[in-house]
Amino acid sequence: MEKHEEHTAHVHRDDEGDKLGMWLFIFTELLLFGMLFLMYAVYRHKNPEAFLLGGEELDVFIGTFNTVILLISSATVAMSITAIQRGNKKQALVLLGITLFIAVLFLVNKYFEWGAKIEYGFYPGSDLLHELGHGTTLFFGLYYIMSGIHALHILIGIGLFIYVVWQIRRDKIHSTDYVWLENTGLYWHLVDLIWIFLFPLFYLIH
Amino acid sequence: MSETTTAKHVSFLEYKGKYKGILGWIFSTDHKRVGLLYLYTMLVFFSIAAILGLLMKIQLIAPGYTIMGPQTYNSMFTVHGIIMIFIIVVPGLPAVFGNFFLPLMIGAKDVAFPRLNLASWWIYIIGILVVLSSQFLGGWPDTGWTFYAPYSFRTPANVLPALFGAFILGFSSILTGINFVVTIHRMRAPGMTWLKMPLFPWTLYATAWIQVLATPVIGITLLLTVMERVLGVGVFDPALGGDPILYQHLFWIYSHPAVYIMILPGMGAISEILPVFSRKSIYGYKAIVLSSLAIAFVGYFVWGHHMFTSGMSGRALYAFSFLTFLVAIPSAIKVFNWVATIHKGSLNLQTPFYWATSFIFVFMIGGLTGLVLGSLATNVHVHDTHFVVAHFHFIVFGGTGYAFMAALHYWFPKMFGRMYDASWANIGWATFFGGFLTLYLPMFALGLQGMPRRYYDYLPEFHTGNIISSLGAILMIAGALIVITNLVRSSRHGEKVTGKNPWGGRTLEWESDTPPTLENWDEIPKVTEGPYDYK
């Protein structure tokens, strides 16, 4: 059977290009959430009182706790990149382990937070929201959509971290080739940044 | 035991790698094969959607029930629109010719992310399958391709697969956009400065930015509509306090720039073709570059002109109308440049040139009638009539479609190493062009007389115009059939092209082998001259 020789020359390496690609992807994420923030602004403007009351229903303690741990996880990712640059594989793995743990913890908290709200009757289409009127329905509609899509990003982040940890263990990511880790870190900072906006908008503004 | 031969001068069509047969195509990361995968996929779905269009025109050949009832008609224009917009013209030229020729024209061996590129095609296929699954999961949607709220979550018809499929197709578009921006930034051959880059890559660059910055907006909007339909979150539902007009805003914030995703690469292809067949360098290279970027930029701020009758403040209406007139200027600059390029050229009358010049003709009709729609007073009169349908098809089908055919004939010898049959190609073009004008010109008149769009029926006074239009549709489909049959046949049996450069083009892709080898170049070329030096 005739077979042509394998080509490897076009598998070129360009870390700058890879990072540029990631930044472009981050722009798309910003526009996606930007539209949600736009909707939030429109509906808050139309229903100021209901949004005020809605915010008081949310648990500021869980929100604050999640904000703090997410900030810590951003720091641990950044530190793991430094560790890889210095060739300290074990330290990088430990730091990524902490990040992964925090990401899971964030979702666990979210699960209990949502569970409590749903048990109480705050969910789309519930009788309680129907009684409370349009403004509250919209507040909780947006709350579930925005924090839900954010949680989906956390979930994708977990997948990325598992991949990166696996690649570090196989020595595919190391001190001279770590753009995958850097890009995962960029993504994680974005996820963190979006939460930094979601948190005050839903929990704190009174 | 496999025998390894050197692949140095084996064409990409004959290259045998890890996988064989069709697997060697659908798992190939070679940008040229990915481009052709898109081409074949589009050919299949274009045929389906064109048949739907023809059936609609046959329904409209006489008032009342001819071959279908209202619900079938509604489903047909919906599916026709979804396929044509999301599967054909939005990916359109970038996915086919961008993939195939961008690396060749800038002197690269592939795009920046070849695997991501193949993934884009796979995501595209998955999106198509999801869209079409509605056929087997409860019937076709009936909302029109715009999915306007609140009908899209109130209708009993099956809208979810279409919404979700269009959402998935958006990912494919975004990934292609990211890939092209990075490729153009990072992989131009040595010596190819920004202003030595040919115009087709320039328009791909402007398009890619729109894909990156606008597509997420439609993504989230479609996702919200899915959630509205499934969960009833209330954001677009007036019964729950939401605002359906906000849906329209979000929809058009993407879908107007998307019109420029469709047309800009077409303009780029025309700018490549005219100098080659006029034997003259392009007139006003920099003006074309700048006007492409201007279109991409100003195109973001005109979405409101789709909503003049939906309910907006007077001030917003004036602003959107003014900006719409503004965005017409860069397009007009291009038309001027193209005509000036042909002027006093030594014309080589070949099929790509016919398609390109007829592009200018239909594009001008489409563009000028766009201004009729962009002015507030006339818009109220012709809004939601056949005038809009005619204008839209003159731009999207007349513009993008003609540019696509021009590009396909122009690059055909490079892609397949064979020449199309010129006389059949010309007959096909003439039939198509005649059919096209007969089909769409009467629709302007019908619209001005007040015939609304999206109805399967009409008043008797519109009968004459509709008969002419429907006959035009049959003629145009016959033309398309001739063109496509000729190309498909020629790709296998056409006369072999031996030289690298059958048209005498000056851009870089003509310096590669015909058809190109797997890696395009033995050595990355060095660029010293501008792209259109005919002296």
Question: Does the residue B535 lie in any domain?
Answer: no
Question: Does the residue B525 lie in any domain?
Answer: no
The single residue listed with the structure tokens 């629709």 is B443
Q: Is the pLDDT of residue A8 over 70?
A: no
What residues make up the domain containing B491? Answer: 23-511
Which of B109, B153, B233, B522 is most worth mutating to test chain A (most A CB atoms within 10 A of its CB)?
Answer: B233
CA distance B393 to chain A (A): 29
Q: For the segment A186-198, what is each residue's pLDDT rounded down to a tens digit?
A: 999 999 999 999 9
Domain count, chain B: 1
CA distance B179 to chain A (A): 7
How far is residue B346's CA from residue B278's CA, in Å, rounded to a whole number?
Answer: 5
Residue B529, pLDDT score: 85
Q: Is the pLDDT of residue A2 over 80?
A: no
Residue B426, pLDDT score: 98
The residue in chain B having the minimum alpha-carbon distance to the alpha carbon of residue A22 is B178
Spell out which residues of chain B touch residue A35, defining contact as CB-CB under 8 Å.
216-217, 220-221, 250, 253
Spell out which residues of chain A touch residue B224, defining contact as CB-CB under 8 Å.
145
Contact A17, B185 (CB under 8 A): yes
Asked if the C-beta of A2 comes within 8 angstroms of chain B's C-beta atoms, the answer is yes
Question: Does the residue B268 lie in any domain?
Answer: yes
Residue A11, pLDDT score: 57
For residue B161, the domain's CATH number is 1.20.210.10
Please name the residue ranges forming H helices in chain A: 15-46, 48-57, 60-85, 89-120, 127-132, 134-169, 179-199
CA distance B344 to chain A (A): 43
How far is residue A13's CA from residue B22's CA, in Å, rounded to a whole number?
Answer: 29
The complex's ipTM works out to 0.92
Strands B418-419 and B495-496: antiparallel
Spell out which residues of chain A touch residue B110, defining contact as CB-CB under 8 Å.
10
Question: Does the residue B6 lie in any domain?
Answer: no
Tens place of pLDDT per residue across chain B (535 aa): 344 445 567 888 888 888 888 899 999 999 999 999 999 999 999 999 999 999 999 999 999 999 999 999 999 999 999 999 999 999 999 999 999 999 999 999 999 999 999 999 999 999 999 999 988 888 899 999 999 999 999 999 999 999 999 999 999 999 999 999 999 999 999 999 999 999 999 999 999 999 999 999 999 999 999 999 999 999 999 999 999 999 999 999 999 999 999 999 999 999 999 999 999 999 999 999 999 999 999 999 999 999 999 989 999 999 999 999 999 999 999 999 999 999 999 999 999 999 999 999 999 999 999 999 999 999 999 999 999 999 999 999 999 999 999 999 999 999 999 999 999 999 999 999 999 999 999 999 999 999 999 999 999 999 999 999 999 999 999 999 999 999 999 999 999 998 999 999 999 999 999 899 998 998 899 998 888 888 6
Residue B535, pLDDT score: 65
CA distance B23 to chain A (A): 14
Kindly determine whether residue A4 and residue B235, on different chains, have CB atoms separated by under 8 Å: no
How far is residue A142's CA from residue A154's CA, in Å, rounded to a whole number?
Answer: 18
Kindly determine whether residue A9 and residue B109, on different chains, have CB atoms separated by under 8 Å: yes
Tokens of A117: 């709200």
Tokens of B191: 């010596």
How far is residue A47's CA from residue A135's CA, in Å, rounded to a whole number?
Answer: 5
Domains of chain A, first to last: 18-204 (1.20.120.80)
Kindly determine whether residue A17 and residue B182, on different chains, have CB atoms separated by under 8 Å: yes
Question: Does the residue B520 lie in any domain?
Answer: no
The residue in chain A having the minimum alpha-carbon distance to the alpha carbon of residue B217 is A32
Comparing CA positions, the residue from B332, B217, B211, B92 lying closest to residue A38 is B217
Q: For the segment B479-513, what is each residue's pLDDT rounded down to a tens digit?
A: 999 999 999 999 999 999 989 999 999 999 999 99
Exposure string (b/e) for A120-145, b if CB count within 10 Å is 16 or more? eebbbebeebeebebbbbbbbbbbbb
CA B385 to chain centre: 23
Question: Does the residue B529 lie in any domain?
Answer: no
Cis geometry, peptide bond prior to residue B244 (ω within 30 degrees of 0): no
Question: Does the residue B59 lie in any domain?
Answer: yes
Which residues 3-22 of chain A have a CB within 8 Å of chain B?
3-7, 9-12, 14, 16-17, 20-21
Tokens of B5: 């031969």
Kindly determine whether residue A6 and residue B17, on different chains, have CB atoms separated by under 8 Å: yes
The 3-state DSSP class for residue B385 equals strand
